[in-house]
Amino acid sequence: MVVAGALVANGLLLLAQRSRPPELAGMWELPGGKVEPGESPEGALERELREELGVETVVGQQLAGDVDLAGGLVLRAYRVELMSGTPAPLDHSDLRWVDARGLVGADLVDADRAWVPELSGMLRQP
Ligand code: DCP
């Protein structure tokens, strides 16, 4: 399983720009990564966000609908709340906070597009 986090603050969502692999580099995603053996999905997401963004988070509600990825992986997204730190692109090319218009206009990885309608509703409208 792969887990991803929707970090919303002040009506804006944090997007992260992938640096790899070449076919996904430059595209934007909800940050996250693979669940390791023995981890819960929530624990894995908190670890990934600590490693990739340098922040402490608490994982909240799951977004609706898991997404099938290539290679038999399943992607699941959760709301996450920022507890401490300021997100930094420790593993990504760049970070960006988007409102509803910015999310719809972003060059997202395909798998994450499923959540755009649900996420847009949580964000500041133009
Ligand atoms: N993925 C996705 N959308 C996301 C997060 C990940 O479609 N919001 C996909 C991209 C990859 C797979 O999930 O095909 C695994 O993601 P990562 O490469 O980010 O995961 P890890 O960082 O754990 O992998 P590794 O350490 O192997 O690079």
Which ligand 1 atom sits nearest the alpha carbon of residue 67? Answer: 7
Nearest CA to 58 out of 42, 71, 69, 72 is that of 42
Confidence bin at 9 (pLDDT 50/70/90): very high
Q: ipTM of this model?
A: 0.95
Of all protein residues, the one whose alpha carbon is nearest to atom 20 of ligand 1 is: 33
Ligand 1 probe mutation, 1, 2, 48, 62, most atoms within 8 A of CB: 2
Computed over every residue of the chain, the mean pLDDT equals: 97
Q: Which atom of ligand 1 is nearest to the CA of 2?
A: 13
pLDDT per position as a tens digit, 39-94: 999 999 999 999 999 999 999 999 999 999 999 999 999 999 999 999 999 999 99
Burial of 124 (0-12, 13-18, 19+ CB in 10 A): middle
Which atom, in ligand 1's list, is nearest to the CA of 18? 19
Q: How far is the CA of 33 from the centre of ligand 1 (A)?
A: 5
pLDDT at 126 over 90: no
Is residue 6 predicted with pLDDT exceeding 90?
yes
pLDDT for 101-117, tens place per residue? Answer: 999 999 999 999 999 99
